[in-house]
Chain A
Amino acid sequence: MEIVCIGEIFNNDVGGPTYEAIYLGNELKREYGGRLTLIIAGKDLDKYSGKLSIQGVDSIILLDHPSLELYEQVAYTRAIAGEIKAISPQIVIAPYTSQGMDLLPSIAHEIGYTLVTYCQSLKFTGNGWIATRVIYGGKLLEDVEVDDRNIVATIRPGDFPQLKQETGSISVLKKSPEIFQGKIRPIGTVKPSLEDIDITKYDVLVSVGRGIGSRENLEMADELAKILNGALACSRPIADMGWLPKTRQVGSSAKTVKPKVYIALGISGATNHINGMKNSNTIISVNKDPFAPIFEISHYGVVADINDLLPLLLEELKK
Chain B
Amino acid sequence: MDIVVLVKATPVLEEAKITDDEKNLDTSELKFFMNETDTYALEEAILKKEKYGGRVTVITLADSEIENDVNDMIYESYAKGADDGIIIEYSGIYMDPYAKAKIISDFLKTIKFDLILLGAQSTDTSYSLLGQLIARYLDLPYTTLVSSVELNGNKLKVVRELEEGLQAVYEMPLPSLLTIQSGINTPRYPPFVKIRNARSRPIKKVSIENIIRDPQSLVKVKRRRLYIPPSKGAANILKGEPEELAARLAEIIKGVVPR
Q: Which residues of A does B touch, CB under 8 Å?
A: 10-11, 70-73, 96-99, 101-102, 105-106, 109, 114-118, 130, 133-148, 157, 182-192, 203-204, 228-230, 236-237, 239-242, 246-247, 252-255, 260-261, 263, 281-282, 284-286, 289-291, 295-305, 308-309, 312-313, 315-317, 319
Contact = CB atoms under 8 A, between A and B. Distances in A.
A106 B229 contact: no
B211 interface: no
B168 A145 contact: no
13 contacts: A97-B163, A98-B163, A101-B128, A118-B127, A137-B126, A140-B25, A144-B222, A146-B222, A184-B171, A240-B182, A240-B183, A312-B245, A316-B246
B109 interface: no
A228 B159 contact: no
Contacts of A157: 163
Interface in B1-60: 13-16, 18, 25
Contacts of A185: 170-172
A261 B7 CA distance: 39
B126 to A, nearest CB: 5
A98 B160 contact: yes
Contact of B165 (A246, A302, A315): A246
Contacts of A302: 237-239, 245, 249
Contacts of B105: none
Contacts of B127: 117-118
A187 B170 contact: yes
A300 B238 contact: yes
B144 interface: yes
B256 to A, nearest CB: 5
A32 B142 CA distance: 36
Contacts of B25: 136, 140
A295 B157 CA distance: 41
B16 A186 contact: no
Contact of B229 (A98, A138, A186): A138
A301 B236 contact: yes
Contacts of A246: 165
B168 A189 contact: yes
B7 to A, nearest CB: 18
A300 B222 contact: no
A298 B126 contact: no
Contacts of B157: 187
Interface core residue of B15, B133, B168 (most chain A CB under 10 Å): B168
Interface string B97-115: 0100000000000000000
Contacts of A187: 157, 169-171
B165 A140 contact: no
Nearest to B160: A98
B161 to A, nearest CB: 6
A186 B157 CA distance: 10
Interface in B42-82: none
Interface string B113-136: 000000010011111110011001
B162 interface: yes
A308 B253 contact: no
Contact of A297 (B125, B234, B256): B234
A157 B132 CA distance: 20
B220 interface: yes
